[in-house]
Amino acid sequence: MGWSKQRLVEVARTRLGGAKLIVVANREPYIHRRANGGVELMRPAGGLTTALDPVMQACGGVWVGHGSGDADRETADARGRLAVPPDDPTYTLRRVWLTPEQEEGYYYGFANSTLWPLCHQVYRRPTFDPAHWAVYREVNELFAAAVLEEARGGPAVIFVQDYHFALLPGLLKAARPDLVVAQFWHVPWPNPETFRVCPWAGELLDGMLGNDLLGFHIQYHCNNFLETVDRTVESRICRERFSVGRGDRQTRVLPFPISVDPDLAAEYTVGWQDRVGELRAAHGLGDRPLVVGVDRVDYTKGIPERVRAVGRLLERHPEWVGKFHLVQLGAPSRTNLPAYRDLNAEVQTLADAVNRTHGTADWQPVVFVNRHCGPEDIYALYRDAAGCVVSSLHDGMNLVAKEFVTARDDGQGTLVLSQFTGAARELTDAVLVNPFDVDGLAAGLHAALAMPADEQRRRMRRMRAQVSDNNIYRWAGMLLSEASKLVPDADPPEVVPTAAPATLPFIRAAAATTLTTAGGLL
């Protein structure tokens, strides 16, 4: 049986056995901003929130996140809570307020200037600033207090997201050993040689080993993590079970490749022709084939590399002059950091140079749309494009690749995909490229543009089946099921109650349903 929203609802109901689900993610799924004299609702760019929102809509519960919008306070209650999605509420968003200094030290500082470059092997030197580290600890404590408040008075499963919260699992377990704590690390985990330069490596690992379950996208990152633990902290590592033991506690370390909700595409592509018509007119695209890139403007995404590759393609294959456009949607991201701010300008400069060298009076090969675009425009472009290019230099998964595939209900279109993404392990029918190799990337673009329709269909059929089977509901279902099995004092599932008695500790109810509900699936 395939995974659907309904099946996840069922798994969450039976496995959670009445325990509250609390997701913690720095980025909130709904941001309120002041705009045009009123308040505007914004959906942030970035795979994490897009992937988790449908899961929370299915399961219900609380999402604890940073209230980052300038109209966030006035749209929440005194405790920072509001029901979301605002037009059809299914779960609670609990906003945590940070001072500008906390946002600076924790988010821009330790999370995005230390851990982000440390985990992505793209040759950016991480900063190691003790002041950032102190604020990162402080903010992890602040979130721990909010989570503990939300979890008060009953069993709860805490599902922590990403590198913003390496210390949170340890803090939660210390305060409430009965909580089930799982964390998903959405970015790669580097090899031990890379990680050990971090002056606070031991403390970060201590925090993460507070988890009952720790997930990465791929086995390779799990292996790197276990190696890192082995060399850094005292522990017992079991390579058969993929677990780390410390004292009487165990942390299992397993791969869960994240994905998308394939049904979203159908929602967003309604009326796509009209939208595309407007976009084509606005950007002078005529009816030429498009290759689209959709990214946050981030130095891990290989955007300059792909613009250069367009230049190289036009040198090598002048037959493409005047025949296609690269439409690069680039949502500005983390722009308080010079590395990110400068990248917007760098991409624009490169695009201008390629356009100057190869463009004509009425044709510009590269169209850089340097703003936040809504999902309706993005999906319309996916649906219309001849191809999509994902040239990340290093990426845990990359959900743009999977979104593109789900948008192609016509079975057409080619995907040019960096071999350094987690997605490349699953989407082996993409044109796989090394984005550091400009000639190889240009050859990949050529192959994608020139691919015969029947080969496109063959490849797209297999990729669509892969994403449809391994969708976001499977990811969440597997994680929740695994988390529910892992609590140390779980009783074996001997008795199968029809309904979880309210007094039964969470994990007994959860474990008891293991065999009946989804026992064969995991």
Closest CA to 18 of 501, 514, 512: 501
Question: Does 187 participate in binding ligand G6P (rule CB under 6 A)?
Answer: yes
**Strands, E assignment, 168-296:** 180-184, 213-216, 236-238, 243-246, 249-255, 290-296
CA distances (Å), origin 434, targets 36, 296, 301, 360, 421: 43, 20, 12, 29, 10
Query: Is 417 in contact with 430 (CB distance < 8 Å)?
Result: yes
DSSP three-state, residue 355: helix
Rounded CA separation 260/25 (Å): 17
Binding mask 153-182 for ligand G6P (x = CB under 6 A): ---------x--------------------
Closest CA to 420 of 308, 255, 340, 302: 302
Contacts to ligand G6P from residues 10-69, by CB under 6 A: 27, 44, 46-48
Instruction: Give the shortest CB-402-to-ligand G6P separation in angstroms.
Output: 13
Instruction: Give the shortest CB-300-to-ligand G6P separation in angstroms.
Output: 9
Rounded CA separation 232/221 (Å): 16
Question: Does 186 participate in binding ligand G6P (rule CB under 6 A)?
Answer: yes
Residue (31 or 442) nearer to ligand G6P, CB: 31
Residue (272 or 299) nearer to ligand G6P, CB: 299
Size of the site for ligand G6P (CB under 6 A): 11
Rounded CA separation 189/422 (Å): 12
Closest CA to 44 of 25, 60, 22: 25
Binding mask 418-457 for ligand G6P (x = CB under 6 A): ----------------------------------------
Instruction: Give the shortest CB-515-to-ligand G6P separation in angstroms.
Output: 35
Question: Does 391 participate in binding ligand G6P (rule CB under 6 A)?
Answer: no
Contacts to ligand G6P from residues 305-364, by CB under 6 A: 333-334
Instruction: Give the shortest CB-399-to-ligand G6P separation in angstroms.
Output: 8
Query: Is 165 in contact with 24 (CB distance < 8 Å)?
Result: yes
Question: Does 222 participate in binding ligand G6P (rule CB under 6 A)?
Answer: no
**Strands, E assignment, 229-336:** 236-238, 243-246, 249-255, 290-296, 325-331
Residue (317 or 341) nearer to ligand G6P, CB: 341
Question: Does 259 participate in binding ligand G6P (rule CB under 6 A)?
Answer: no
Residues that bind ligand G6P (CB under 6 A): 27, 44, 46-48, 162, 186-187, 296, 333-334
